[in-house]
Every structure is written in structure tokens, then in C-alpha cells.
């Protein structure tokens, strides 16, 4: 799965390369004027998609809250009415929406609203069975369906918008991919495969079969809750990194904890107070580079 932060980090590198070398290299097919708006559009469409997803998540949270509120009321009213109507189903329960010989609550929003409407009508016709102190009333039943229906409709709208924003993002990323391929193809016509200027545009030199250089400047900061944030300097020619950890006294040696594309990582579920050893190994298509020095710290 694509790591979007790493993807845009690499796309930004290509833009910096165009800023610095497009004129000296006489690039004409992919220039800054062509590439930058496409990159910006991809970022804009990605941000819009992320915002739509957040809206959908918030919509689902609200819908679950409205469902829970309705269910609490329906359950409470059912329990309240077991006195006059009995604690097992009988035809007396039918006017409240309990049918088919069951006192089971509905599991759909439409079913909830239908039962709320029937309870409202029942209490309207039998006001002596309301309990105003507990808010088991026709008026209360009348207030619960509209927000539930609105929340359900909002979720459907959010789902539609999220799909639309996703399609727009995918189209923008596809166009950006196409321009990156075109840029690479144009650079092949003006740069030798071993020219170090490739690194101004991309993360590796096409003709360089070497493994990455070693990672330097590895640092780690323990955070409360068993979290350790790691950061290190980019290693030349590295396309990804293996993160190794060893919990002293538990692990007999360093074990693989994660593989990441960016020069940072976040470890979780580290036992509080544990002594931890950490190491980073860079790698690319040619293989693994030399491992970093091992650092040691105590988890928070």
C-alpha cells in the first residue's frame, strides 16, 4: 500500500530537482511550469479526500450516538410497560410495534423510527401510562426519530462524497505518476545512468547497483504509554528501512519490529521501564546496507 507521506516527499524532491536543474539540463517535456500544478492538485485532492473520510467517520460516530439514544429510550419504555402489559409478548404489545411474538427491539433505523412513532401514539392514547419523571412520554418519543434519520442521511451523503473525493484523488495521483515517469524518461536522455544529479530528482541513481549507505544520527524519544519515536538521517540510495528492537531480558537478540519507507518510525506497546536496544538497516533493490549503531534507552 502506498505511503502517501513518502510518496509526496519523493514528488517534492522531483520538484526541487526541476527548480535547480531543469534549465541547465534543457528539460522541455516536464518542466516546473507543467509539473508543479499537477503536484499541487494531487496534494489538494488528497487533502480533500482525507477531509471527506474524517467527515464520514464523524458522521458514523453521530449516527451511533443517535441509535444508542433511541435504543436506551425504547428499552426503558419496554421495561416500564411490563407492569401493565406483562413481561412476555401478548397482543397488548402489538400497538407499540412489538410483533411476531417477540419483545425484541428493532435493529434498523427505519424500524426504530416506526416503533418510536407507535410509542408516541400509544402514550398519546394512554397518557396515564406515561412517566414524566423518567421522560417516558409521547413528547420524548417524538424527538428521537428526526435526529436519527438526519444522522443516517448524513452518513449516506458522506459516503457518496468520500467516494467522489477518492476518485478525484486517484485521478490526480495517476496524472502525477505519469509526469514522474515522463520526467524519468527525459532524464534518461540527458543524464548518464551513474550521474549523481539523479539524486536531485529521485531517491536512487539508475546505474548504481550499490546497496544504501549506513544510517547515521539515529535518535529515539520514549513517550508515555509504551511509545518510542525514532528518527534518523536519510541514507543515500535507501528506498526503505528495517527497524530492529530488543527488549533486554526478554528478547535474546534484535528482532524486526517494522519496515518503513520514511526515515522515521513509531514503536508501540513497549513495556514501561524496559531497557530497549534499537537499530536501523537501510535497503534497496540491491540489498541491505550496513546497519546503524545500536542505541539503548529506557522506555517511559
* Beta strand segments in the chain, E: 219-223, 227-231, 240-247, 255-260, 264-267, 275-284, 287-288, 295-298
Burial of 156 (0-12, 13-18, 19+ CB in 10 A): exposed
CATH 2.60.40.2220 applies to domain 219-298:
no
Q: Cα separation of 279 and 157, whole Å? A: 47
pTM for the structure as a whole: 0.71
What does residue 242 show for φ and ψ, rounded to 5 degrees? -95, 135
Which residues, in sequence order, are CB contacts of 61 under 8 Å at separation 6+? none
Q: For residue range 29-85, what is the model confidence (pLDDT) as tens digits?
A: 999 999 999 999 999 999 999 999 999 999 999 999 999 999 999 999 999 999 999
Percent of the chain with pLDDT over 70: 99
Tell me, rounded to whole angstroms, the distance of Cα 264 from its chain centroid: 18
Task: DSSP letter for 221, please.
Answer: E
The pLDDT of residue 2 = 61
Across the chain, which distance is largest between two alpha carbons, in Å? 91
User: At residue 3, does pLDDT exceed 80?
Assistant: no
User: At residue 267, does pLDDT exceed 90?
Assistant: yes
Split at pLDDT 50, 70, 90, the class of 1 is very low
Amino acid at each position: 500500500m502506498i505511503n502517501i507521506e513518502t510518496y509526496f516527499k519523493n514528488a517534492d524532491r522531483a520538484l526541487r530537482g526541476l527548480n535547480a536543474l531543469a534549465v541547465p539540463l534543457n528539460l522541455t517535456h516536464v518542466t516546473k511550469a507543467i509539473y508543479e500544478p499537477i503536484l499541487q492538485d494531487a496534494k489538494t485532492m488528497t487533502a480533500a479526500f482525507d477531509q471527506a473520510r474524517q467527515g464520514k467517520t464523524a458522521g458514523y460516530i453521530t449516527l451511533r450516538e443517535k441509535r444508542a439514544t433511541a435504543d436506551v429510550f425504547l428499552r426503558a419504555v419496554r421495561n416500564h410497560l411490563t407492569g401493565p402489559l406483562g413481561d412476555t409478548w401478548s397482543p397488548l404489545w402489538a400497538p407499540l410495534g412489538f410483533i411476531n411474538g417477540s419483545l425484541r427491539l428493532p435493529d434498523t433505523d427505519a424500524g426504530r423510527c416506526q416503533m418510536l412513532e407507535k410509542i408516541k401514539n400509544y402514550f398519546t392514547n394512554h397518557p396515564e401510562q406515561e412517566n414524566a419523571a423518567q421522560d417516558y412520554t409521547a413528547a420524548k418519543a417524538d424527538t428521537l426519530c428526526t435526529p436519527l434519520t438526519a444522522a443516517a442521511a448524513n452518513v449516506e451523503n458522506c459516503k457518496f462524497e468520500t467516494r467522489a473525493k477518492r476518485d478525484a484523488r486517484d485521478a490526480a495521483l495517476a496524472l502525477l505518476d505519469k509526469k514522474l515517469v515522463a520526467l524519468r524518461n527525459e532524464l534518461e536522455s540527458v543524464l548518464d545512468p551513474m550521474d549523481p544529479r539523479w539524486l536531485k530528482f529521485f531517491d536512487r541513481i539508475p546505474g548504481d547497483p550499490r546497496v544504501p549507505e549506513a544510517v547515521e544520527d539515529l535518535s529515539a524519544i520514549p513517550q508515555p504509554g509504551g511509545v518510542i519515536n525514532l528518527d534518523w538521517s536519510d541514507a543515500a540510495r535507501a528506498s526503505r528501512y528495517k527497524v530492529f528492537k530488543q527488549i533486554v531480558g526478554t528478547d535474546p537478540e534484535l528482532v524486526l519490529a517494522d519496515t518503513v519507507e520514511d526515515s522515521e518510525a513509531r514503536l508501540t506497546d513497549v513495556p514501561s521501564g524496559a531497557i530497549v536496544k534499537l537499530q536501523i538497516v537501510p535497503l534497496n533493490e540491491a540489498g541491505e546496507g550496513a546497519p546503524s549503531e545500536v542505541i539503548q534507552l529506557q522506555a517511559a
